[in-house]
Chain A
């Protein structure tokens, strides 16, 4: 970690670069350190590795030939979109090819009547909504990174966003994916109708973290833009009360367009940075958005306010116009970068838990702040129970880094214990791979490996990520003990 690891084998590097140069122009094959350096990490900067070679294809045929060539030479491949991923999914292979889809930036077709767009994988998430806007349409999943992240990365991670509570995740908004398996075999799953014959391979590909196929064309569903949206901002003097208020909104039969929480450390960090007008006295604030036709929005806002009042809100503000609404959201959307300004480094976690356990888990995290002597603001998708604790640390301090990792491991463990998951939307990547050994048992991991082998028998695409080997789990030593039995009795203990 920290320092980027050097590339292992210069002769191999030359051979692979030459093999790619047969069909790729000079500018599309990078291998000198100064050129490959920008690709050494994704958004999880604690992990760095220089890729042996970077390939920047521009056509599908080139992608196919890169894959075929690498497959034949036994060279590992890692696809990359914008590199905003937060789990090291696009961490390059030191002995392989980083396959950048950044040049696939075209919107191929937009059909306003059928309400869909066919786009290349390197198109940015927000760019889809931009081209759809003149038709009164938009692409619903809106990760906070939406101005930078690509739809290819979104498909790989099954990314979510602030509005996913009501409008679904990537998997609910993608209709078709075309791409290539590791051996260069073309794949075409899903379609422009609402279902396709056979097994739902689309569900399998979405969220597969680039381990099964490289997506080269994606068809997304577009939704009509709501006529009006307004946001309620509610203050609470206690984090637990805010958590209960979230459950109370759902219990009242309301599915808001967005329901987000920020605790005091988070609002303080953000306020210095963007001035969103947050209540700095509150222990936590909730942002709850209603959208639809004006009458409906008024009705929902009134109900939400009532629920928040009953839940003990100390202050309530409702956006009066679009400018104010956007200002209130600007703080939430800028939360990660804002936190980045108050600390040399931060580590963003991503567990999802049942909503009813929010208060308890936030309390647990608070106690860990004391235990490890590290601060941890929280800003997250409360309506979905998807936490993003941000542990603040200084990567130059080895001890802080170690404490951060232990802190994070305890939080992930807790998420599993309360019936949740280690990752709600950022993916496992390299980051949470050991915790996969806690969340899943050997039988399940074996099935994942069997699925992987169907698409990529040689295990070359995004090797070593997302699904740990059983040996790795044994080495990790944190066996998921199920029914009183160890799950890998066949493997040696360390």
Chain B
């Protein structure tokens, strides 16, 4: 398998022919349109090492995310960044390359925060490893974290070691009626006090809060916050809907914009339905033109991504400042001198 990967990469590099790295294809929609000859990573699969007491799991790129998460669940552990799968086919390699995180992100951290080490084949098919399988490691530049969200542009991620966490002993979801501005104000205030809020979602005057932690902490927080408790099953389904974009807000053909902004920025005054997550730091929007959305996100101190639908030709991600763009181009060249991996996926220039 590895020998095949290597041959494919070397042949592509010799001809400077683009390669499209792909796991289950669940994130084909994300980023610039995929192009190039297909390199399917699914054959290189399996959990390589997992010891619950080390809080570290190492698996190959083609491992289905579902399989990894089920294995962790059997030991009472989880991927705390709650990566969205967007379909049953999602693989670990794709999950890290996309670098997306789910509802628990604001409380627990993002995909990059849980990456401890990675092994990849670079653009010269060199088999290189960075980081490791221990909690702390500052030997060498942190290349493994750099891979999270790189959309496969730096190399073929072969293996990833992730920090995993115990599942919370208790979880409870509350529903509160709150207008947008008030919800944002409350979310920021709560985040500044020791409350075990592990997820939040506001939509149409209704704020859902998930509390996670020790039974006692969850109970005490629920009392303090008020609202209505949502039954266990319904709560699971609701958060899964938010994580997987199965919630009705995400259906339909209208373009879906993702605005990543400071959590305390005022309601974004743009037409179109909005759903707010991450304590105010993530705002989903179902309409809008490039110019208007980008300007609104930038003036709020954040950035916008055309997540699904809409006109990708005008750009998917927020443009990079010239100094950063130069660094990006050169880093890309350092890892992938022939420019073969997933061209255009993260940035039109490389």
Q: Which residues of A contact B (CB under 8 A)?
A: 111-115, 135-137, 157-158, 160, 164-165, 168-169, 171-172, 185-189, 191-201, 203-204, 206-208, 212, 224-227, 247-248, 250-251, 253-255, 292-293, 295-296, 298-300, 352-356, 381, 384-386, 419-428, 432, 436, 439-441, 443-444, 447-448, 450-451, 453-455, 466-467
Contact A432–B139 (Cβ < 8 Å)? yes
Within 8 A of A (CB), among B80-127: 99, 105-106, 109-110, 112-113, 122, 126-127
Contact B188–A194 (Cβ < 8 Å)? no
**Cβ 8 A contact of B141, one of A300, A352, A448:** A448
Give complex CA distance A423, B126 in Å: 25
Contact B129–A444 (Cβ < 8 Å)? yes
Within 8 A of A (CB), among B137-165: 137-143, 145-146, 148-150, 153-154, 165
Q: A194-B260, A293-B220 are in contact. List 19 more A-B contacts (CB 8 A).
A: A135-B192, A171-B113, A172-B109, A189-B324, A193-B262, A194-B105, A196-B303, A199-B154, A199-B328, A201-B146, A224-B192, A253-B169, A292-B217, A299-B215, A385-B135, A419-B134, A423-B139, A424-B134, A432-B139
Q: Is B53 an interface residue when CB atoms closer than 8 A count as contact? A: yes
Q: Is B292 an interface residue when CB atoms closer than 8 A count as contact? A: no
Interchain nearest-CB distance for A26 vs B (Å)? 33
For B262, list chain A residues within 8 Å (CB).
Answer: 114, 192-193
For A352, list chain B residues within 8 Å (CB).
Answer: 134-137
10 contacts between A and B (CB under 8 A): A113-B192, A168-B113, A199-B150, A207-B138, A251-B53, A354-B54, A354-B56, A421-B132, A423-B139, A451-B143
Contact A422–B139 (Cβ < 8 Å)? yes
| Residue picked from B55, B305, B318, most chain A C-beta under 10 Å | B55
**When A114-B262, A299-B216 are in contact, do A203 and B145 touch as well, CB less than 8 Å?**
yes
Contact A251–B52 (Cβ < 8 Å)? yes
Within 8 A of A (CB), among B295-350: 301-303, 305, 317-321, 323-324, 327-328, 330-331, 334-335, 346-347
For B153, list chain A residues within 8 Å (CB).
Answer: 199
For B51, list chain A residues within 8 Å (CB).
Answer: 354, 356
Nearest A-chain residue to B155, judged by Cβ: A447
**When A194-B281, A451-B141 are in contact, do A419 and B317 touch as well, CB less than 8 Å?**
no
**Cβ 8 A contact of A113, one of B145, B188, B213:** B188
Q: Is B166 an interface residue when CB atoms closer than 8 A count as contact? A: yes
Nearest A-chain residue to B330, judged by Cβ: A454
Give complex CA distance A196, B317 in Å: 10
Contact A355–B54 (Cβ < 8 Å)? yes
Give complex CA distance A197, B51 in Å: 34
**Cβ 8 A contact of B194, one of A112, A292, A427:** A292
Nearest B-chain residue to A175, judged by Cβ: B262
Contact A224–B191 (Cβ < 8 Å)? yes
For B324, list chain A residues within 8 Å (CB).
Answer: 187-189, 198, 201
For B217, list chain A residues within 8 Å (CB).
Answer: 292-293, 295-296
Contact A421–B137 (Cβ < 8 Å)? yes
Contact A247–B53 (Cβ < 8 Å)? yes
Q: Is B202 an interface residue when CB atoms closer than 8 A count as contact? A: no
Contact A137–B192 (Cβ < 8 Å)? yes
Contact B261–A193 (Cβ < 8 Å)? yes
Give complex CA distance A248, B220 in Å: 28
Give complex CA distance A295, B321 in Å: 49
For B132, list chain A residues within 8 Å (CB).
Answer: 419-421
Contact B264–A158 (Cβ < 8 Å)? no
Give complex CA distance A425, B139 in Å: 9
